[in-house]
Amino acid sequence: MDQTQICPRFEKGIQIASKRWACLIIYQLLEGPKRFCAMETALNISGRLLSERLKELETEGIVKRIVYPETPVRIEYSLTQKGLAFESILSAIQTWSQTWIEPDSI
């Protein structure tokens, strides 16, 4: 039997989390709403790639984009409830890596 048929939800979850930069973007947003340029600077990521990931995470219902009708227009990104649920996952990965990943192997 094909493994993807056993648990398609697990596979989808892994696909979302394993996209390059996705977990680091979510980790940044756990601190609270952020503007695009703040995330771009903090992550040292290209604007094109950050924009692509944010759109994907928004499509998945993990990130929400809030447009403030000001001049100039201000846009902030924050996590939805679904996105906030990633906190326990990222916390577990952080705990595991602090225990098992040697600093000199980074």
Q: Is 48 domain-assigned?
A: yes
Domain at 66, CATH number:
1.10.10.10
Q: Is 46 domain-assigned?
A: yes
pLDDT tens digit at each of 106 positions of the chain: 455 566 888 889 999 999 999 999 999 999 999 999 999 999 999 999 999 999 999 999 999 999 999 899 999 999 999 999 999 999 999 999 999 998 886 6
Number of domains in the chain: 1
pLDDT in tens, 62-76: 999 999 998 999 999
pLDDT at site 31 = 96
Q: How far apart are CA 45 and CA 37, in angstroms?
A: 10
- Residues of the domain holding 88: 20-92
Task: Please report, for residues 40, 52, 70, 93, 102, the alpha-carbon distance to residue 106 in angstroms, rounded to integers and kept in the order given.
Answer: 22, 27, 43, 15, 7
pLDDT at site 7 = 87
Peptide bond into 8 cis (omega under 30): no
**Ranges assigned E (strand) in 37-90:** 63-68, 74-79
Q: Is 14 domain-assigned?
A: no
